[in-house]
Amino acid sequence: MDTRTLRWCKSSHYSQIFSHAHVVDNICELFTLLNAPLKRCVWSSFRASIEEKYAKELLGLSKKVCGCNEMNTLKRSLDVFKLQTEHVSLSHLQLAQTMRDEAKKLEDFRERQKEARKKVEQQMDALHKQRATQFKKTMESKKTYEQKCRDKEEAEQNMNRNASTSNAKQQEKLFARTNQAKMNAEVADRLYMQNVTALGRIREDWQKEHVKACEVFEKQEVERINTLRNMVWTHLNQLSQQCVTSDELYEEVRKSLEHCDIQKDIEHFVNLRRTGDKPPAPILYDNFYGSQRVPVAPSVTQMTPSITRRPLPNPTNTGGDLINSTALDPDRAYSVIQY
């Protein structure tokens, strides 16, 4: 590529593109080079799916039983904790939808750039095909022109070489053949010149369109970088806002925990579960044979009653009862079992 062509470029970026196109001579590779950074960005969509999955898992967790056996202030704090966990899950679900909306905006922007780029590509492709066709025709006419020139020179040399040895009729034929070769060379020269001129015009149009395409692509690249930068900035702001929202919701739980009173919870449990103000009455010993049952008062310092054995009664004995009575033997314990 010559220096005059490079002057048409407004930046070194254009010169690199022209150089690349000149080397490969393939417009498809040029568009591939320019469109490489415009591939679809799926980061926001993936992050939205992660947020949605986390929100659903968190929402399911908030529905599970937590602290059902607790009571009073601690139970209220745990209820607030479950409620705020549900609110956090809903905020993450809303964040996921917001991210999907941002991803949709980015996708729409990408489609708009794709359509605008497609129009430029079609124009460039048409000019490139026209230039390639004219270049091929020019090379063929050049080849024909060179061959006709060689035929003309050969005819002239043949006529000059045989001028002294040939008769008039032969010289006339040589002269006619030389004139015909000369006319053919002139026709080929004019055709070659016309093709070169046409190729120059097409090449000029192609280069101008190439510069316009580079300007369009540079503008698109500026818009793309700016849009992507703003999208990432917005994305980070959304994540930061989610952290703030979650902290505000968790702050409500912390406030509830500050009102959690351990002593009140214990007193509440005692008042709720107690069975009375006094312990149950002790179980006293009751002698079956006693005619008078005197209860034994429990000791003041000892909750367990002390049971004492009273003297056994002295029933009237008969001769037949001696075998079963223990009254005659005070050292033996009372028993009704016969040995």
Please give the average per-residue pLDDT across 323-330, as a whole number. Answer: 42
Chain segment 136-186, per-residue pLDDT in tens = 999 999 999 999 999 888 888 888 877 667 677 777 887 888 888 889 999
Q: How confident is the model over 64-74, as a mean pLDDT? A: 80
**Could you give the percent of the chain with pLDDT greater than 70?**
73
Q: Is the pLDDT of residue 63 over 60?
A: yes
- What is the pLDDT confidence band of residue 245, given thresholds at 50, 70 and 90? very high
322 band by pLDDT with thresholds 50, 70 and 90 = very low
Summarised one tens digit per residue, pLDDT across range 172-200 is 887 888 888 889 999 999 999 999 999 99
Average pLDDT over residues 211-215: 91
63, 260 in Cβ contact below 8 A?
A: no
The answer to whether residue 253 scores a pLDDT higher than 80 is: yes
Contact in structure between 14 and 211 (CB atoms under 8 Å): yes
Domains and CATH numbers, the chain: 12-266 (1.20.1270.60)
Give a three-class secondary structure readout of 5-73: HHHCCCCHHHHHHHHHHHHHCCHHHHHHHHHHHHCCCCHHHHHHHHHHHHHHHHHHHHCCCCCCCCCHH
Distance, CA of 4 to CA of 7 (rounded, Å)? 5
pLDDT at 41: 59
Angle between helices 43-62 and 168-258 (to 10 degrees): 20
Q: Is it the case that residue 29 has pLDDT exceeding 80?
A: no
Instruction: Please give the Cα distance from 328 to 338 (Å, whole number).
Output: 15
Which range in 1-15, 62-76, 210-224, 297-311 is most confidently predicted, on average pLDDT? Answer: 210-224
pLDDT of residue 339: 35
Which of helix, strand or coil describes residue 286? coil
